[in-house]
Amino acid sequence: MKILLAEDTVDLNRALTAVLQHEKYDVDTVLDGQQAADHLDVDSYDCIILDIMMPKKDGITVLKELRQKNIITPVLMLTAKAEVEDRVTGLDSGADDYLTKPFAIKELLARVRALTRRKTNYGTDELKYNDLSLKSDSFELGCENTVRLSTKEFELMQTLMINQGRLLGTDYLLEHVWANDDNSRPETVWLYISYLKRKLKAIASSVEITGSSSEGFMLK
């Protein structure tokens, strides 16, 4: 699973990155809020860990911006003991959980596991379409290159590949990919379609996602 870690204290950032990677998470790490926002503009994650106090852009601002963009990824906020009001503001702004510094690493991992727990067993089958392959065991999308997908990216691509040649409406995708998420919107589907379009280009695949929010989407 893919995690974005935004923590400006370098030593803590390195320690958390090492622990998360040891637990087999795929971690992108940044040191300020603007870098976090930049990553969220171009990539999808299964969990976001945001420190509240960061340079350039604080965690609350990043959180509000990502929720305004219909990014519904679970967010764990890291706060200092004195930041009670910020914790309340964070939860009111769409944070899913918070952890007060200093914290035990085991507790952080437990919170992350709770936020990223998969609801489906995807098996080990590999799907293929034209020059494209999708591995269920590793969430890797491959062609000339490979890229690791987040859970929702994988589920969306899997749905498109299983229904290759069929135009899938936005409501259909919301029902099958975001069935248990009351916060998902048609804009959420388009956001993840845009993530996948960029990744298809990145791996040099001839396959494209065609269509629109009003017409539906399909692989071509």
Give residue 118's pLDDT.
59
Of 141, 150, 124, the residue nearest 201 (C-alpha): 141
Confidence at residue 84, expressed as pLDDT on a 0 to 100 scale: 63
Map out the domains of the chain as residue ranges.
Answer: 2-116, 126-219
CA-to-CA separations, 109 to 114, 158, 160, 166, 196, in angstroms, rounded: 9, 28, 32, 40, 28
Q: How many CB atoms lie within 10 A of CB 202?
A: 14
> Identical fold at 2-116 and 126-219?
no
- 143-145-147-152 Cα dihedral, nearest 10 degrees: -20
For 141-155, what is each residue's pLDDT tens digit?
999 888 888 888 888
Whole-angstrom distance, CA of residue 135 vs CA of residue 141: 7
Low-confidence spans in the chain with pLDDT less than 50: none
Which residues are 97's β-sheet partners?
A: 76
Task: Give the model's pLDDT for residue 127.
Answer: 85
Question: What's the confidence (pLDDT) of residue 87?
Answer: 66
Class of the domain covering 126-219: mainly alpha
The answer for 94, left when phi > 0, alpha when psi is -120 to 50, beta otherwise, is left
What's domain 2-116's architecture? 3-Layer(aba) Sandwich (3.40)
N-terminal to C-terminal alpha carbon distance within the chain: 27
* Rounded (5°) CA angle 74-137-213: 55
> Which residues have C-beta within 8 Å of that of residue 75, sequence separation ≥ 6?
47, 48, 49, 50, 63, 66, 94, 95, 96, 97
pLDDT at residue 119 in the model: 53
Residue 191's closest CA among 68, 9, 96?
68
Q: What are the backbone dihedrals phi and psi of residue 210, each rounded to the nearest 5 degrees, phi first?
A: -110, 165
What is the rounded CA–CA span in Å between residue 96 and residue 62? 14
Global confidence as pTM:
0.71
Nearest by Cα to 169 from 218, 207, 202:
218
DSSP secondary structure letter of residue 178: S
Enter the tokens of residue 79.
């706060």
Q: Which of 116, 93, 110 is nearest to 45 (CA)?
A: 116
